[in-house]
Structure 1
Amino acid sequence: MTNQKRVNWMKGSTLLLAASLTLIGCTKEEPASQPTAASSAAPSTAAATPAQTLTFNWVNFPGVSTESNYASQYLEKKFNIKLNKVYTTAYADYKQKLQLQLSSGEIPDVMFVFDPGELNKYASQGLLAEVPKSLLEKYAPRTKANLDKQAPQGWYYSNVGGKNYGLTTFYFTGQFNAKQTWRTDLLKQAGITKVPETIDEFTAAFAALKKIGVYGMSTPGNSYYNQFHSIFGAYGVQPTQWMLKDGKVVNAAVQPEAKEALTKLVEWYKAGYIDPDFVTGQDLGPKFTQGKFAFNDNSNVSAVDESNPNSAISLLKKANPNGTIVFGPPPVGPQGKSGAWAWGTAGNIWAFGKQLEKSPEKLQKALQIIDEIQNNEEVWLALAWGEKGKHYDFNDPAAGVSAGLKRIGAFTDPSKLQAEGIPDLANGTTAWAAQPNIDIVAKYYNKNILDAFKTYNKPVNDIFGKSDSLPSSGKFWGDLIKLKTDTYAAIVRGDKPVSYFDDFVKQWNDKGGTQLEKEANELYASMKK
């Protein structure tokens, strides 16, 4: 994504969930004393310890850690390497600090890159080593095979000019769309006894809610991707995703179906069904629990969890013991279509400094290490959760992983956990390889949350995963998504007529949309060969 937002959202939501929920395994029990390694047809590529100790400048996943922390020491001992420097950059400063470092000519050996647009820029500047897929097949075979099977969109992320420039990470929750929730107590007050499922039923419910002084819905109106996303899904598009239409790659933002969805939203806004403050995207949670509107287009999987003190239902119950919230499906449109935005199972990218092309043994070793962390359950557990009895323990030692894991002692404090080099996230992220393959995450993911994710899950993915995967994205994408976000909001509010959509399409194309569409079709064709 051009998408610090996505990673920040992941961080924010997992912190919220981790505050009150512990991870529950989704598969068979494991012995409490020693979790077994994840099965793989390929043997461990990092099992052999070379005589030479290699030194790395490794820019790890963002987090504030101490020098010579637990995780870096584990890594050095496990793989017979020396980490020349442990980076301690917080999320907010990460991109800027990495850019400054690269601009100064200090190119790390291994670096975490958020988005394809950044990778494209770094590769175009000659800062990155090419990583042919044949090299991955030899030195990161399990990750290569799992990307092919679990997250094939990831190959678009690391592709620059037909060459591969990195190793994409996994993103487990990307297979699920954001949840939609209803205040069913408000529906009941309005005389609605069934959770609406179609656009027509939404319209009828919103009309009834207006009679009791409640808006039908709101949405993150300042978000280029979440703005009314489930409503657009009812018309078969997800602006600003790239999609296939009649055998051609096009952008959903400028399709006639998007104009149809906007026409319905204009109708609802004029009727007083949409909170006028949707444009700001602020205070959606408080307004929802306060009963200002009844349908939340962008809710959280923890919304209906009464055991979580920070969930929407818990906050509602404090003010209104009779309040009720349930998940609802993305609405079905006039042509029977429905769905909501999802990012897909590819995450970010590990990239490697150009200098490693002259030090192939270091590039090979880095690939082996990432492959081991992402696919060897024992190694991943040590770096994602830490040391059993010190950083974490089983909820039930007799049951082992099947009963879930919990942080213990001082390490219930996220800052102390980060200082150890362990990310304070509940999704299995490590500082050195990000998330492991999907199967490992699924085994350790909280079962209740996982069930919530699967409820009314109708994900719609960009065919490239992230819309900024194109060569000219860095030049055009920022302006285009702002144009789309502002124009859509202006049309819904009535500041511009629906007919202005045609002017928007022309502006989109003139501001780079035509060039990006050309590149999108070329990229799609090249990757399908």
Structure 2
Amino acid sequence: MSMSMSRRGFLGLALAGATAAGLAACGGEGGGAAGAGKGGADLSRKLRLPTYTPAKIPTPDLPIDAGQDPSYLKYPEQLVRSVPAPPGDGSRITALTQTWDVAPPGADKSAYLQELGKRLNAQWDMNIVVGEGYPDKFNAIIASDDLPDLVWFPPNQGLQRVPELLEAKFHDLTPHLAGDAIKKYPNLANLGDVAWKSAVTNGKIFGVAVSYSRFGQVYLVNQDFWRPVGGIGFTGADDFFQKSVQLLDAKRNRYVLEPAYVNHVHMFSQWYGAPNTWRLTGGKLVHQYETPEYQAALEFAVKCFKAGLFWPDATLATTKEKVANGQLGAYVESFPGFYNDARTQKYELGAIVPFAATPDAKPVYNAGLGSVGFTAISKKADPKRVEMLLNVLNFMAAPFGTEENQLVNYGVEGVHFTRKDGELTFTDRGAAEVPATQQPISFVIGSPSAIYLPGKPEGTRLIHDFETKVAPMLQERVTTGHFSDTFTTKGGELSTMGSDMVVDVVTGRKPLSAWQGFVKKWMDRGGAAMKAEYEASIARG
């Protein structure tokens, strides 16, 4: 696939929050992280997003007629060259980014970065924050006024006063990217509306969207675990419950659900048709916490806990090992994690497609954020350099099946990877240089998702089949591209407040009857303010 497989650490921070209770910490509302400061909603205005133009790629092996990611059972034999000439001007390009892996080797020791520099006609130089601490580094660099060319604005790390910073220190890229202007950069034009909405702040495009999967969390299982009850097809929540009870065997240390209570409530809420964070009707928003669908999911989770379906140790750190050896039935994973598990797990992996919890329910599948923020360009860059940097980002955003994407994700053939039976395999040097370097690159600029699992065509089919089934029920976030000042200042607090309450109710520390009182308190603490600010932004288009 085109995205880094080593993002697990980042995903745990950023995407595990995309649950029923984790909306605020996750960010990703186009103005979530970028909507702080005075007047974010008031300044919102109609904006023509970059015109989507599909890139030329090798013909996928499986259909893409329902919005599935391009899927390849084998690595394409004939790649497409998407950028005809090196886009750089021979200069050094600096970027602020992050990694959740080890720090990669520098250019003087990395044949990967040296070749990338040749293809770009530029020296790609990253200031990388390893692990935690990105906001501190970001703030220090902003305060020093020694800005790199490219600065990554993540959607989930609570950066403050972002609109003011963007206006003061970064280029408004709207004239370069809005509408048909994007066609000058074909690979950026291929990113799509979902990703580009995250790069909009105060009605302007202040950065290049960092593309990411638009599919959300997935309910994954070991198929063998469920075979005694006929597999993972369910006629309703009660059917799921009854089959789970049949499979439960506490004496043999065999349980059905991992103890990630908030994630499970999120999964259940899709069966009941709860909104993806907010529901918009007639210009008015209703938060998922306020809906009967979400409350029904919470009640169902309480029922599962009382029946002993959850693994009894809430600190379980070996979920996937327990699933692999048949001691655990189901766990929740991010969509990129789905790719990784389909590639690495030895058992027959399965994914539960959302189904109607009751005869009257309309199941949904909640979309992911579609991006991991955006990358802004410092105002220190003159107009000619801005054009050059956009061309470089266009090169780096090349989709799967292009020569440029192969270079970014695999390095140099014969040095970093070899071909055998048409598949690519990292050499020892490639394994040491490429993944650790590609991860911080992928936070500066990403390419759209594609499904390709080397030597695992059955995994590709599994993911493609899941995407095909959930595509008709895909539910985007209605607040994406809109702004709430309160979201940034209080989003983390409200997220923690919601997650804690869900856990308390599910585990019986607080009664289900306490939920309504909690919702009122949550609204008073900032939920109502977020609602009003989002509504104002939506009303202005």
The TM-score by the shorter chain falls in which range? 0.7 to 0.9
Q: Equivalent residue for 1:102?
A: 142
Q: Aligned pair in 2 of structure 1 residues 455, 247: CA closer, same or farther (>3 Å)?
A: farther
Match of 1:332 in 2: 356
Residue 220 of structure 1 corresponds to which residue in structure 2?
Answer: 260
Moved more, 492-501 or 67-76: 67-76
Compared with structure 1, are the counterparts of its residues 268 and 76 closer, same or farther at alpha carbon in structure 2 (3 Å cutoff)? closer
Q: Deviations over 1:435-455 (max 9, x none)?
A: 2244xx457876443322234
Counterpart AA for 1:436? S
TM-score, length-normalised on structure 1? 0.74
Q: Is the 8 A contact 1:216 1:275 kept in 2?
A: yes
Residue 436 of structure 1 pairs with residue 447 of structure 2: yes
- Structure 1: distance between partners of 2:119 and 2:349: 48
SS at match of 1:195: coil
| Identity among equivalent pairs (%) | 17
Amino acid at match of 2:356: V
Alignment of 1:354-373 (within 5 A): 354-356=379-381, 359-373=382-396
* Residues 182 and 483 of structure 1, relative CA distance in 2, 3 Å threshold: same
Once residues 488 and 102 of structure 1 are traced to their aligned partners in structure 2, the CA distance between those partners, rounded to angstroms, is 37
Q: Residue 363 of structure 1: CA displacement?
A: 1.6
Q: 1:55-66 residue pairs with structure 2 within 5 A?
A: 55-60=92-97, 62=99, 63-66=103-106
Name the counterpart of 2:296: 260
Mapping 1:239-254, distance limit 5 Å:
241-245=277-281, 248-254=284-290
Selected match of 2:497 from 478, 483, 491: 483
Residue 174 (structure 1) shift: 3.4
Is the Cα contact below 8 Å between 2:88 and 2:388 reproduced in 1?
no
1:129-528 matched pairs, under 5 angstroms: 129-136=170-177, 138=181, 141-147=185-191, 150=192, 152-171=193-212, 173-175=213-215, 177-182=217-222, 184-185=224-225, 188=228, 192-197=229-234, 198-210=236-248, 213=251, 214-221=254-261, 226-237=263-274, 241-245=277-281, 248-278=284-314, 280=315, 282-289=317-324, 291-298=326-333, 301=338, 308=344, 311=345, 313=347, 326-334=350-358, 335-356=360-381, 359-375=382-398, 377-396=402-421, 403-412=422-431, 415-417=432-434, 421-423=437-439, 430=441, 434-438=445-449, 441-442=450-451, 447-457=457-467, 458=470, 460-463=474-477, 470-526=484-540
Gap change, CA 1:407 and 1:498, over 3 Å in 2: same
CA shift digits 1:84-137 (9 cap, x unpaired): x54243244544433332233322210223217656643323554133332125
Maintained 8 Å contact 1:57/1:109? yes
- What is the Cα deviation at residue 486 of structure 1? 0.7
Report the TM-score when normalising by structure 2: 0.73
Cα RMSD, aligned residues only:
3.8
The answer as to whether partners of 1:120 and 1:471 remain within 8 angstroms in 2 is no
Paired amino acid for 1:155: W
8 Å CA contact 1:234, 1:332 repeated in 2: yes
The answer (yes or no) to whether the contact 2:223–2:349 under 8 Å persists in 1 is: yes
Count of residue correspondences? 461
Shift of 1:488: 0.9
Q: Secondary structure at the match of 1:266?
A: helix
Could you list the runs of 5+ residues in structure 1 that have no partner in the other structure? 14-22, 39-43, 314-323, 397-402, 424-428
CA distance in 1, matches of 2:187, 2:391: 10
| Corresponding letter in the other structure for 2:207 | G
Separation in 2, partners of 1:227, 1:233:
10
1:169 and 1:433 in contact (8 A); partners too = yes
Conservation of the 8 A alpha-carbon contact between 1:169 and 1:436: yes
Task: Please list every run of 5 or more consecutive structure 2 residues that lacks an aligned counterpart in the other structure.
Answer: 1-6, 17-69
Q: Assess if the C-alpha contact under 8 Å between 1:219 and 1:228 holds in 2.
A: no
Q: Is the 8 A contact 2:135 2:158 kept in 1?
A: no
What is the CA-CA distance between 1:372 and the residue it aligns to? 2.3
Indicate the residue corresponding to 1:30 in structure 2.
Answer: 77
Q: Match of 1:329, as an amino acid?
A: V
Q: Give the whole-Å Cα distance in 2 for the aligned partners of 1:93 and 1:430.
A: 18
Change (3 A) 1:27 1:522: farther
| Structure 2 Cα separation of the partners of residues 108 and 67 of structure 1 | 17
Separation (CA, whole Å) in 1 of partners of 2:323 and 2:238: 22
- Structure 1 residue 163, shift from structure 2 partner: 2.0
The letter for the 2-side match of 1:195 is I
Q: 1:347 to 1:404 in 2, by over 3 A?
A: farther
